[in-house]
């Protein structure tokens, strides 16, 4: 809102900053342009509509959607506790929960292996329950959730802190129970933050590679998501790898673009009132 | 009220980009830019131990010479060389990748075959599924992990299965031998198919179960000087070392077969 309102013609920026900024834009955009330039357009459609490509794309969309739902189910309470509750060790817990943001995904995969694997921490219990996670689509969803959850938590906690306590306090003094306050006041207030967090989580899940490779394996239609398919195709068919990479870039760009538009219009809608 | 949301989202987006950087990908090793006395050798990942030893021997024989080694999957290395990476010598784990470079006129001479490698079954040390033959791999309920057919070890696994007259129903088709070994040594899989040399390197973490049908799927390792190398003489001498007595001794000690 007020941040973007500045006198016309004055950006408040020294001119020289345009040079490193241009380099910054280039650092991201140039490799993407180079990728697009490498696409074999004549063969693009057959390459991206082959059975293995479609299976990988379908699996990626399904697992990323499932892990986004799981992220919401687990992430909303986590963010609420981190933002609203107060207990000893909270700072440490927050840092630990956000750890997957900076962890190499392979490390996440190894950690998951020793948690949910057949010989992992929960392995024997899962086996008794008749749940087989190894080499299943569930393993993919777990890996994606592990790496994507912090994105949801971090953007949701920010939204919660920004929204403040005021409306919740008012609702409580008017006699609303905590659950009512949560569902009728808190969650509607942070809806835009929730949406952008969910989209970030979805995008991160879609791009998940290292943890999936380490923990879930790679089998067409079961565990081989689009990034794994690209990694494998590269071995024999670089053209297919490039074409699929472009598909992944397009899907990710669409998702992020959609989210920012919705967040922006949501923000404007609230701000107008 | 919403002022902080933008930065929060940006921070998260930045972290997203950072996290993305961590995913896989093989960066080309530092190049020795051909400066006097430096020989750059690109070799298949399975040759790491052997070539590290041979490079040491070569440096001792040629004082002042520095051998720069770059290990990765054969097709990764071939891609890097095609893209202009400064390699003087290339050693591949299969003839297919070498043939690709030959077809692109990127080799300085005829490739020489210097080693061979054979598949073996590997199982976790306690062999939970009681695997002792190739046919056991096809038993229902056995979690078998192989390389994908697109990579050399996967192509070999398919040949072995055809020779055994069985069809495997793998739980996973990995992109590299390392990933297969990881699944077996962690106990996630009951068995996997890797090369004898890989199994030997992982001794203690996995147990090898040799099988007769492996003879149908032997991989040959070719080595060649790369075209445009400024070190043709050193490259030729390094290839002589690998294909000569010292090379044969080190290779067979590591479990490689000799042509």
CATH number of the domain bearing residue A157: 1.10.3720.10
Domain ranges of chain B: 38-116+220-253, 118-218
B221 is in an annotated binding site: no
Contacts of A200 in chain B (CB under 8 A): 9, 12-13, 16
Contacts of A158 in chain B (CB under 8 A): 4-5, 8-9
Scanning A222-241 for CB atoms below 8 A from B yields: 223-224, 227-228, 231-236, 238
pLDDT at B12: 42
Spatial separation of the C-alpha atoms in residues B181 and A73, rounded to whole Å: 35
B195 is in an annotated binding site: yes
Whether residue A23 is contained in a domain is answered as no
Question: Are B90 and B100 contacting, i.e. CB atoms less than 8 angstroms apart?
Answer: no
CA distances from B244 to A57, B37, B75 (A): 49, 22, 26
Contacts of A238 in chain B (CB under 8 A): 79
pLDDT in tens, B31-49: 333 345 889 999 998 898 8
B74 is in an annotated binding site: yes
Contacts of A164 in chain B (CB under 8 A): 1
Whether residue A214 is contained in a domain is answered as yes
Whether residue A264 is contained in a domain is answered as yes
Question: What are A111-115's contacts with CB under 8 Å, separation 24+?
Answer: A111/A146, A112/A139, A112/A142, A112/A143, A112/A146, A112/A211, A112/A214, A112/A215, A113/A214, A113/A215, A113/B186, A113/B188, A114/B186
CA distance B225 to chain A (A): 22
The SS3 of residue B26 is coil
Nearest CB to B143; choose among A135, A214, A270? A135
State which fold the B38-116+220-253 domain adopts: D-Maltodextrin-Binding Protein; domain 2 (3.40.190)
B8 and A101: CB-CB below 8 Å?
no
pLDDT band (50, 70, 90) for residue B53: very high
Question: Are A231 and A157 contacting, i.e. CB atoms less than 8 angstroms apart?
Answer: no
Q: What is the percent of chain B with per-residue pLDDT over 90, rounded to a whole number? A: 47
User: Is residue B20 predicted with pLDDT exceeding 50?
Assistant: no
Scanning A87-116 for CB atoms below 8 A from B yields: 100-106, 113-114
pLDDT in tens, B197-251: 989 888 889 999 989 888 888 889 999 999 888 888 899 999 999 999 999 999 9
The SS3 of residue A93 is helix
Contacts of A272 in chain B (CB under 8 A): none
pLDDT at A252: 86
CA distances from B222 to A92, A248, B239 (A): 54, 36, 10
Contacts of A2 in chain B (CB under 8 A): 3
pLDDT at A111: 92
pLDDT at B29: 38
pLDDT at B75: 81
Nearest CB to A3; choose among B3, B15, B151? B3
Torsion, Cα of B30, B34, B39, B42 (10° steps): 50
Question: Are B68 and B29 contacting, i.e. CB atoms less than 8 angstroms apart?
Answer: yes
Question: Are A204 and B16 contacting, i.e. CB atoms less than 8 angstroms apart?
Answer: yes
Contacts of A134 in chain B (CB under 8 A): 143, 171, 188-189
Whether residue A198 is contained in a domain is answered as yes
Question: Are A171 and A183 contacting, i.e. CB atoms less than 8 angstroms apart?
Answer: no
| Count of CB atoms situated within 10 Å of the CB of B14 | 11
Spatial separation of the C-alpha atoms in residues B169 and B141, rounded to whole Å: 10
- Of B111, B137, B197, B16, residue with least CA distance to A252: B16
CA of B170: which chain A residue's CA is closest? A219
pLDDT at A162: 87
Check whether domain B118-218 has CATH 3.40.190.10, yes or no: yes
Tokens of A18: 């345009």
Listed in sequence order, the residues at least 6 apart from B224 whose beta carbon sits closer than 8 Å to its beta carbon are B89, B90, B98, B101, B102, B107, B108, B109, B110, B111, B112, B239
Spatial separation of the C-alpha atoms in residues B93 and A235, rounded to whole Å: 13
- Sign for the CA dihedral angle at B22, B24, B25, B30 comes to positive
pLDDT at A264: 54
Question: Are B119 and B153 contacting, i.e. CB atoms less than 8 angstroms apart?
Answer: yes
User: Is residue B19 predicted with pLDDT exceeding 80?
Assistant: no
Tokens of B41: 């050798």
Whether residue A48 is contained in a domain is answered as yes
Q: Which of A91-100, B5-14, B37-46, B54-63 has the lowest mean pLDDT?
A: B5-14
Whether residue A95 is contained in a domain is answered as yes
Reading chain A (273 residues) residue by residue, the pLDDT tens digits are: 445 555 556 778 888 999 999 999 999 999 999 999 988 888 888 888 888 899 999 999 999 999 999 999 999 999 999 988 888 988 899 999 989 888 898 899 999 989 998 888 998 888 888 888 888 999 999 999 999 999 999 989 989 988 888 888 888 899 888 898 888 888 998 988 898 899 989 999 999 999 999 899 899 889 999 999 999 888 778 888 999 999 999 988 888 787 776 555 554 444 333
Contacts of B6 in chain A (CB under 8 A): 3
Interaxial angle between packed helices A226-236 and A238-272, expressed in degrees from 0 to 180 and rounded to the nearest 10? 150
pLDDT at A5: 52
The SS3 of residue B91 is strand
pLDDT in tens, B175-201: 888 889 989 998 899 999 999 998 988
- Residue A219, domain extent: 44-272
Nearest CB to A217; choose among B5, B75, B171? B171
Scanning A248-267 for CB atoms below 8 A from B yields: 263, 267
Please state whether B222 falls in left (phi above 0), alpha (psi between -120 and 50) or beta. Answer: beta
B172 and A271: CB-CB below 8 Å?
no
Residues in chain B: 259
User: Is residue B57 predicted with pLDDT exceeding 70?
Assistant: yes
B23 and A227: CB-CB below 8 Å?
yes
Spatial separation of the C-alpha atoms in residues A87 and B170, rounded to whole Å: 48
Question: Are A83 and A165 contacting, i.e. CB atoms less than 8 angstroms apart?
Answer: no
**Average model confidence (pLDDT) across chain B:** 83
- Of A168, A195, A163, A169, residue with least CA distance to A184: A168
pLDDT at B58: 93
∠ CA(B199), CA(B201), CA(B206), 5° rounding?
A: 45
Assess A118–B contact: CB distance below 8 Å, yes or no.
yes
User: Is residue B8 predicted with pLDDT exceeding 50?
Assistant: no
Spatial separation of the C-alpha atoms in residues B175 and B74, rounded to whole Å: 12
DSSP A40-55: -HHHHHHHHTSHHHHH
pLDDT at A8: 58
Count of domains observed in chain A: 1
Whether residue A37 is contained in a domain is answered as no
pLDDT at A202: 93
B5 and A151: CB-CB below 8 Å?
no
| Count of CB atoms situated within 10 Å of the CB of B101 | 22
What mean pLDDT is predicted for residues B106-128? Answer: 92
Listed in sequence order, the residues at least 6 apart from B26 whose beta carbon sits closer than 8 Å to its beta carbon are B72, B73, B76
B173 and A1: CB-CB below 8 Å?
no
Please state whether A164 falls in left (phi above 0), alpha (psi between -120 and 50) or beta. Answer: left
Domains B38-116+220-253 and B118-218 share a fold: yes
A236 and B23: CB-CB below 8 Å?
no
Question: Are A229 and A53 contacting, i.e. CB atoms less than 8 angstroms apart?
Answer: yes
Whether residue A223 is contained in a domain is answered as yes
For residue B88, report the phi and psi dihedrals to the nearest 5 degrees.
-100, -35
């Amino acid at each position: 809102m007020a941040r973007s309102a500045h006198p016309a013609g004055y950006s408040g920026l020294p001119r020289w900053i345009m040079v490193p900024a241009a380099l910054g834009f280039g650092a991201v955009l140039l490799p993407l342009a180079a990728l697009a330039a490498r696409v074999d357009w004549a063969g693009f459609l057959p390459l991206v509509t082959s059975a293995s490509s479609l299976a990988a794309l379908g699996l990626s969309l399904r697992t990323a959607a499932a892990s986004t739902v799981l992220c919401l189910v687990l992430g909303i309470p986590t963010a609420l506790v981190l933002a609203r509750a107060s207990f000893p060790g909270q700072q440490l817990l927050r840092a630990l929960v956000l750890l997957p943001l900076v962890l190499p995904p392979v490390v996440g995969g190894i950690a998951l292996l020793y948690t949910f694997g057949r010989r992992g921490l929960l392995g024997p219990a899962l086996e008794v329950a008749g749940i087989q996670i190894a080499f299943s689509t569930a393993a993919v969803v777990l890996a994606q959730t592990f790496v994507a959850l912090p994105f949801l938590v971090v953007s949701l906690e920010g939204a919660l802190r920004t929204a403040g306590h005021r409306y919740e306090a008012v609702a409580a003094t008017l006699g609303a129970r905590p659950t009512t306050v949560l569902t009728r006041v808190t969650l509607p207030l942070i809806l835009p933050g929730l949406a952008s967090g969910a989209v970030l989580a979805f995008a991160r899940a879609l791009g998940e590679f290292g943890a999936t490779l380490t923990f879930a394996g790679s089998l067409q239609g079961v565990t081989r998501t689009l990034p794994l398919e690209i990694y494998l195709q590269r071995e024999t068919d670089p053209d297919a790898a490039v074409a699929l990479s472009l598909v992944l870039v397009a899907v990710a760009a669409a998702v992020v673009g959609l989210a920012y538009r919705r967040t922006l219009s949501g923000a404007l809608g609230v701000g107008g009132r | 009220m919403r002022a902080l949301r933008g930065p929060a989202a940006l921070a998260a987006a930045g972290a997203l980009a950072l996290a993305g950087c961590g995913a896989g990908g093989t960066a080309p090793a530092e190049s020795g830019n051909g400066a006097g006395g430096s020989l750059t050798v690109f070799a298949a990942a399975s040759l790491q131990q052997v070539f590290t030893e041979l490079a040491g021997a070569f440096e001792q024989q040629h004082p002042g010479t520095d051998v720069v080694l770059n290990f990765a999957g054969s097709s990764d290395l071939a891609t890097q060389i095609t893209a202009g990476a400064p390699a003087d010598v290339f050693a591949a784990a299969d003839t297919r990748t070498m043939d690709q470079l030959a077809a692109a006129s990127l080799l300085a001479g005829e490739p020489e075959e210097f080693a061979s490698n054979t598949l073996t079954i590997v199982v976790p040390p306690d062999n939970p599924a009681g695997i002792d033959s190739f046919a056991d791999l096809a038993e229902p309920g056995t979690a078998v992990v192989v390389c994908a057919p697109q990579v050399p070890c996967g192509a070999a696994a398919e040949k072995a299965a055809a020779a055994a007259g069985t069809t495997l129903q793998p739980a996973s088709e990995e992109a590299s031998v390392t990933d297969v070994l990881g699944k077996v040594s962690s106990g996630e899989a009951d068995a996997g198919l890797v090369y004898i040399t890989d199994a030997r390197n992982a001794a203690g973490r996995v147990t090898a179960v040799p099988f007769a049908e492996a003879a149908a799927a032997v991989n040959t390792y070719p080595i060649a000087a790369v075209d445009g190398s400024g070190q043709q003489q050193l490259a030729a001498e390094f290839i002589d070392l690998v294909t000569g007595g010292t090379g044969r001794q080190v290779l067979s000690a590591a479990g490689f077969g000799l042509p």
